[in-house]
Structure 1
């Protein structure tokens, strides 16, 4: 990237990666794209507001960002149009959130958990891109921020994070029943890691954990097998990573 970033958003759309906002001795609102075909980074229009530890997701070929922090916890949202190369504000979330997850799932956006400046949260709200309105949905069973989340096998999966005593724990949300259900815990408690879905598996990548003396950054990777409801260690990352984009 042309700009060093941490606590930023990284999304992909049409073979293009978008590195959005973050922090580099100051709050960033700049955006740059990486073209997989040309192997080049290009600057595009910046967001309206600088943000770090925010949520980002793609739905219907549109990039959405919400919440985050820039000396205050935010609930504002905006989207990026590739047609106009401009960012536009949309209806804000009902609650300020940082360190939360914004997940695109079956035509809706879900804002999950996070930290509101006073405490970690287990609340969730859903954005309807047609009505432009947010609706409160069922709370997670655990409060979390800095956790991993992904849309997978018709449900939303969340794991790890801070804000609760068990950083290994995982649960899944079924939009059909509006209920959260615990599943097998990871082998390693972690926060500010990344979780991705590939084929029939989930991957938990890197992250951080608190130890008695210091914060430790991991290179370990775990795979969740959907059919056996078990986590297994696999090949580690080439380096230890936390607060990164994937």
Structure 2
């Protein structure tokens, strides 16, 4: 695990992740600790919960995530001392579930909550005024999604919002909301999509031939920055990142968005070491 120091603009390796199931982990913070749900080692899934205390630099175990086969590719967010773990892949399918975890008691709330209208994994999950926004991602039927669905925590109700301008999977999953707007970065589009109406065999042959002769690129990586305005339920393209990628991580600090890492090829030979910073105040003033 690496720590980024904003003052010196430098990285330092601090400690190792405590398990080999370090891919596709759903992470979020309650302001004091970082909570890491599930994950994969590339083939198998984990239902572990690991908790990092940055003040001591130590890991501890939490209660296992309630999934028989483990969890990967979910998104997690903390709101009013509760952590909401949404979607992901578990028990042999892409999930639409909303699972609530109480950090103070290390327990899960097993009360039934309404599921997302669209199951998805590897999507952005952001929160504005008690409403969670599930953006993009993919599932078995649609490898990449444009759909945006909003979950009102207080009423336990989902509503469909204006879709993204383009479908994409592998978005930066972490909360990127500030001042009523969400900035969506990175992502990948697989060509042609399985939802195009062609048979799966035809699609596989097309991808293979196109890739071999370099006629098409089976995977297209995005570098545009999309801004969603919750007050007007509208999207705008506000800029571009320096690098095309998916699977990046992101975080908001002092009004700035940091986009870190990711990949730009499949299979990925190695991860990317790029770190980019974006000033939200500039994007919020741009139409």
Which residue of the partner structure matches residue 106 of structure 2? 85
1:132 matched to 2:156: yes
Of residues 60, 63, 69, the one that matches 2:89 is 69
**8 Å Cα contact 1:209-1:216 kept in structure 2:** no
Q: Distance in 2 between matches of 1:204 and 1:139?
A: 22
Partner SS state of residue 218, structure 1? coil
Larger radius of gyration: 2
**8 Å Cα contact 2:130-2:154 kept in structure 1:** no
Which residue of the partner structure matches residue 40 of structure 1? 58
1:217 matched to 2:271: yes
| Structure with greater strand percent | 1
Q: Distance in 2 between matches of 1:35 and 1:44?
A: 12
Count, aligned residues: 228
The worse-fitting range, judged by mean Cα deviation, of 82-91 and 117-126 is: 82-91
Shift of 1:214: 5.9
The worse-fitting range, judged by mean Cα deviation, of 7-16 and 82-91 is: 82-91
Q: Note the residue ranges of structure 2 that are not aligned, 5 or more in a row.
A: 1-16, 191-219
Of residues 95, 120, 143, the one that matches 1:97 is 120
Shift of 1:72: 1.4
Of residues 166, 172, 175, the one that matches 1:142 is 166
Mark the CA change 1:199 to 1:82 in structure 2 (over 3 Å): closer, same or farther. closer
CA deviation string 1:173-201 (max 9, x = no partner): 11110101111111210100112222232
Shift of 1:8: 0.2
Which residue of the partner structure matches residue 15 of structure 1? 32
Which residue of the partner structure matches residue 181 of structure 1? 236
1:112 matched to 2:135: yes
Which residue of the partner structure matches residue 47 of structure 2? 29
**8 Å Cα contact 1:57-1:103 kept in structure 2:** yes
**8 Å Cα contact 2:181-2:230 kept in structure 1:** yes
1:2 matched to 2:18: yes
Q: Note the residue ranges of structure 1 that are not aligned, 5 or more in a row.
A: 230-246
1:207 matched to 2:224: no
Q: TM-score, normalised by structure 1?
A: 0.85
Question: What is the RMSD computed on CA atoms of the aligned residues?
Answer: 2.0
| Structure with greater helix percent | 2
**8 Å Cα contact 2:27-2:75 kept in structure 1:** no
